[in-house]
Amino acid sequence: IVLIIGIISTIISNKLQIPNILLLLLAGILIGNLKIQSGPLIQFPELFLTVIAVVTLAIIVFDASSSFKLREFTELSSKAFKLSVVFLMLNSIFLTIIAMKIFHIKNIFLALIFSTMMSGTSPSAVITMLGNIKSRLAPLLKIESIVNTPLIVLLPFILIDFLQTFSTQSFFSQFIDQIGPLLQQFVSGIGAGIVMGIVISKVKPKEYSETLTPLAIITAALATYILAENLGGNGVLAVTTMGLFFGNIHVAHKVQI
């Protein structure tokens, strides 16, 4: 039933020429609020949903990043990083003030946590919505959604640490202490992606298999994500790096894969 609703949502969104993810979100909200005997009508185990989400995220990010040429990505990534920082700064100032007014929050750190989390954009959502749009802005927004992920993932935790142990005397030292984890997100993520990219380029099978070759690539994308996360890096950044590596080496039947 859930799959049929998803297919119907996709057909309607194509007819109306609106983003598919919008109708899917609305359908999910509707299904989630259906009750039977004071309990949810449809319920999935949390672990199952988490696994599906990670698999989907890894595949979508890999698919998007593998279509970029390295020079194009390098040119756009600096602009995307600037865009992320500017948007984060504007949100941190204006959205923090608005949140404090609307929700009557007296602690500025709590409002900052909210505003920084709202600065993030989901790579899977952005890439899916902008997948078929032919615009010079679309590639920039895709890369921006990938670049801002490590910042948005880590910043709320930094603010929570400040909130728990804040003092004016130790503010600067606490800020310095958080630079390490932030750098680790980037370094470990990019490093894991490069390592897995080299492994793929060296061990890729000479014969193309219609079933096994794409499966091997999916497995490699997942392994890259898991490796980076376990090293304290960012999985999305790792898969992006591996996708760039894969997209810029010679592989037989690359389009089919």
> Rounded CA gap, 252 and 244, in Å?
16
> Is the pTM higher than 0.85?
no
pLDDT at 133 (0 to 100): 74
Is residue 44 within 8 A of residue 222, CB to CB? The reply is: no
Residue 211 pLDDT more than 60? yes
Q: Is the pLDDT of residue 67 over 80?
A: no
pLDDT at 149: 76
Cβ atoms of 115 and 155 closer than 8 Å: no
Q: Write out pLDDT tens, residues 213-250.
A: 888 888 999 999 999 989 988 888 899 889 888 888 77
CB of 221 closer than 8 Å to CB of 59? yes
Contact partners, residue 95, CB within 8 Å, separation at least 6 = 114, 115, 118
Judged by average pLDDT, the poorest of 44-48, 66-70, 224-228, 234-238 is 66-70
Percent of the chain with pLDDT over 70: 88
CA dist 188 and 174 (Å) reads: 22
Average pLDDT over residues 139-166: 74
**Neighbour tally for 187: CB within 10 Å:** 15
Q: How far is Cα 204 from Cα 67, in angstroms, rounded to an integer?
A: 19
CA angle 6, 12, 18 (to 5 degrees): 105
pLDDT at 136: 78
pLDDT higher than threshold 60 for residue 167: no
73 and 244 in contact (C-beta within 8 Å)?
Answer: yes
Q: Over 80: is that where the pLDDT of 176 sits?
A: no
Mean pLDDT is lowest, of 25-29, 123-127, 253-257, for: 253-257
Residue type, 165: T
Q: How far is CA 115 from CA 120, 177, 211, 250, in A?
A: 9, 22, 44, 43
Instruction: Measure the N-to-C terminal CA separation of the chain; round to a whole number of Å.
Output: 30
Segment 167-188 shows an average pLDDT of 70
- Phi, psi at 207, each rounded to 5°: -90, 135
- The partner residues of 39 in beta bridges, in order of sequence, read 36
Q: What angle do CA 217, 74, 53 make, to 5 degrees?
A: 40
Digit-coded pLDDT (tens) for 76-98: 888 888 888 899 999 999 999 99
Q: Give the distance from CA 139 to its chain's centroid.
A: 15
